[in-house]
Amino acid sequence: MAKVNIKPIGDRVLVEHLEEKEQVRGGIIIPDAAKEKPQEAKVIALGTGKKDENGKAQAFEVKVGDRVLISKYGGTEVKLDDKKYTLVREDDILGVIG
């Protein structure tokens, strides 16, 4: 895996979308612009963590390498070296895929 030069800040998590296999139904190919944004992603990097009311950093519930489900419209897309990543808040992560 290539090293990514993006370090998230605070409770943000950098994820890389996992591409779904393209399916053709009835001979119709859906163009990329009409496809839904994939919700399954892989955690690439973690931020510095959310702080509690006493200023103490709270641990993340995910770790680098986890496969996660993210909120469909959450986060900010970033393109680096022809790869698309998304910066999401930990709250936008819906669950970890076991």
Dihedral pair phi/psi, residue 65, rounded to 5°:
100, -15
pLDDT value at position 30? 63
Asked if residue 50 is part of any domain, the answer here is yes
Report whether pLDDT(96) > 90. yes
More confident residue, 10 or 4: 10
Structural domain of residue 70, as residue ranges? 12-19+30-97
Q: Assess if residue 81 is contained within a domain.
A: yes
Question: What is the percentage of the chain residues whose pLDDT exceeds 70?
Answer: 78
Number of domains making up the chain: 1
Kindly state whether residue 68 falls inside one of the protein's structural domains. yes
Indicate whether 98 pLDDT > 70: yes
- CATH number for the domain including 49? 2.30.33.40
Distances (CA, A) of 90 to 21, 47, 76, 93, 98: 26, 9, 13, 5, 18
Q: How far is CA 85 from CA 8, 27, 28, 54, 79, in A?
A: 12, 31, 28, 32, 6
pLDDT digits (tens, 9 = 90+) for 54-79: 888 888 999 999 999 998 888 899 98
